[in-house]
Amino acid sequence: MTYVPSANRYQKMQYRRCGNSGIKLPAISLGLWHNFGHVDVTETYREILHLAFDSGITHFDLANNYGPPPGSAEENFGRILKEDFRGYRDEMIISSKAGYTMWNGPYGDWGSKKYLVASLDQSLKRMGLDYVDIFYHHRPDPETPLEETMSALDLIVRQGKALYAGISNYPAEEAAKAIAILKDLGTPCLIHQPKYSMFERWVEGGLLEVLGNSGVGCIPFSPLAQGLLTDKYLHGIPEDSRAAKSTGFLQKSQVTDERINQVRQLNDIALKRGQTLAQMALAWLLKDTRVTSVLIGASRAAQLADSLKALDNIEFSTDELSQIETILAA
């Protein structure tokens, strides 16, 4: 059956301007970091993509190494784009990144111009695209001059292979330098993608101020702290969880009794707000107007549908914020 998007999809979503740019992004964007690789079930992630677009999510975020195996998320997204979303490309913001290990040898990692240009060429082929809307440098490179990395992003935009440039995982001081270099080159930095959640707040140590003052958007990833900020860990570590397997980014050692106690207290506040803990965690990020969009993952459509309900209540009282800070400071 041919997929036909919901006719009222744009009435279902809130959109926020990305820094000082002409771009607006949905308050919630879909990341394809997990669950879209060759190891995953096609019909499951196809359903997730359909629901996302039907719900007004226009921004789909990828990277060269997403999978597993690396590259497979882009291949699978490209195939569904061709099969199901033909004719809707211009309604989408599609992003990709390079900065982590992608192939062997000295040119398959970090931030050289050689790597970034070659990686994006590969990504475009995998997705069947002429260009991406946003291309990010995925992480700072301590050995390559920042001028070289930023000039690669500038070149890529001038070549028409990306419309906008972005950075990810850059600390405040380095982000400020990168933003200044790109501005001088004539290719302004559109957006920064940092790890940010109630449990990961390094961006509040200067980065948000840099972005706000520079007119650069912010799109946090891992807003649910790899699942910790959900009801999954209220009663300890489930056998089927990421933490139990300790194979991903959430290790068993991170799920301490103190952390679980914080999760339970935060969950109590969420319930009083008429939200799940996950919904409140997303809303808590969106309360800051410097945050353009929050990047979420989903392993099934129902999970995405649940996250979207966060937008029903993104206002917090002073008392709620005070209670949350007290819990997080414990």
> Is 245's pLDDT higher than 80?
no
Distance CA 238, CA 260 (A): 12
Q: Could you report the per-residue pLDDT of 12-53, keeping only the tens digit for each? A: 999 999 999 999 999 999 999 999 999 999 999 999 999 999
The residue assigned the tokens 């803990």 is: 277
Helices then strands (H, E): number in the chain? 11, 10
Q: Residues 210-237: what's their mean pLDDT?
A: 93
| pLDDT at position 256 | 86
Distance CA 105, CA 172 (A): 30
Type of residue numbered 77 = F
Percent of the chain at pLDDT > 90 equals 91
Altogether, the residues listed in the chain come to a count of: 330
Distance CA 132, CA 166 (A): 12
Residues 107 and 114: beta-carbon distance below 8 Å = yes
Q: Could you report the per-residue pLDDT of 134-185, keeping only the tens digit for each? A: 999 999 999 999 999 999 999 999 999 999 999 999 999 999 999 999 999 9
Q: How many CB atoms are located within 10 Å of the residue 5 CB?
A: 16
Minimum mean pLDDT range among 123-127, 208-212, 240-244? 240-244
Confidence of residue 251 (pLDDT cuts 50, 70, 90): low
pTM metric for this prediction = 0.95
Nearest CA among 121, 118, 177, 122 for reference residue 150: 177
Distance CA 282, CA 197 (A): 8
The structural domains of the chain, with segments of one domain joined by +, span 9-226+287-300
| pLDDT at position 255 | 82
Nearest CA among 144, 142, 166 for reference residue 154: 166
Opening angle at CA 330, ends 210 and 269, nearest 5? 85
Q: Is 236 left (phi over 0), alpha (psi -120 to 50) or beta?
A: left
Residues 233 and 263: beta-carbon distance below 8 Å = yes
CATH of domain 9-226+287-300: 3.20.20.100
Q: How many CB atoms are located within 10 Å of the residue 4 CB?
A: 9
> Is 307's pLDDT higher than 80?
yes
Distance CA 118, CA 116 (A): 6
Q: Residues 284-288: what's their mean pLDDT?
A: 98
Q: Could you report the per-residue pLDDT of 48-92, keeping only the tens digit for each? A: 999 999 999 999 999 999 999 999 999 999 999 999 999 999 999
| pLDDT at position 132 | 99
Type of residue numbered 187 = T
The two beta strands, 24-26 and 15-17, are antiparallel
Confidence of residue 295 (pLDDT cuts 50, 70, 90): very high
> Could you give the count of Cα atoms lying within 13 Å of 159 in the half-sphere of its Cβ?
17
| pLDDT at position 300 | 97
Residues 317 and 284: beta-carbon distance below 8 Å = no
Q: Residues 239-263: what's their mean pLDDT?
A: 73
The residue assigned the tokens 């799920």 is: 255
